[in-house]
Amino acid sequence: MENAKMTLDEIAEKCKSGVWYVGTVYTQHSMGRDEAALDAAILAGMLARAAVNVYSPIVHWHHIADVVDLPEAHDYWMRVDEPMMDRCDGMIYVRMNEYEKSRGLAHEVEYFTAQGKPVLYWDFKPVWFNGRTAVL
């Protein structure tokens, strides 16, 4: 099912076990990093509600990076993210809001593919949720 659009139900069925890495756009998000983190959090919550165990680097690191002023360099974040990618069973690649411009997402797909782990593709369009842009 590589590169095919999947529904939440299809992803939940395919991802019943293990931990899945959620790849979302961040620095290229058209509304900025705070909105990118909000989108990632809502998406991770939707997956968790569907009984999918997820790890989202954006949800995990966004506020930490703001508070501690961590580097923005791509190489730094790939060094941080790769051990987590090693531990995850596959990747859920979210195609939304400028995703095709994301250098990080491209690297993550290559990394999972090189390890022979599945990459599932989920298409999203922004909508309003609690008065803010989000993915549903």
pLDDT digits (tens, 9 = 90+) for 58-113: 888 767 778 888 887 778 878 888 999 999 999 998 887 666 666 778 888 999 99
- What three-state secondary structure class fits 22? strand
In degrees and rounded to multiples of 5, residue 19 shows phi and psi of -125, 135
Model pLDDT, residue 119: 93
pLDDT at 1: 42
Taking Cα atoms as reference points, which of 40, 23, 43, 44 lies closest to residue 32?
40
Residue pair 59/41 in contact (Cβ under 8 Å)? The answer is yes
> What is the mean pLDDT of the segment spanning 8-14?
90
Question: CB of 31 within 8 A of CB of 97?
Answer: yes
Where do we find the tokens 């939440």? Answer: 8
Q: Which residue has the tokens 């931990």?
A: 19
DSSP 91-132: EEEEE-SSGGG-HHHHHHHHHHHHTT--EEEEE--EEEETTE
More confident residue, 66 or 121: 121
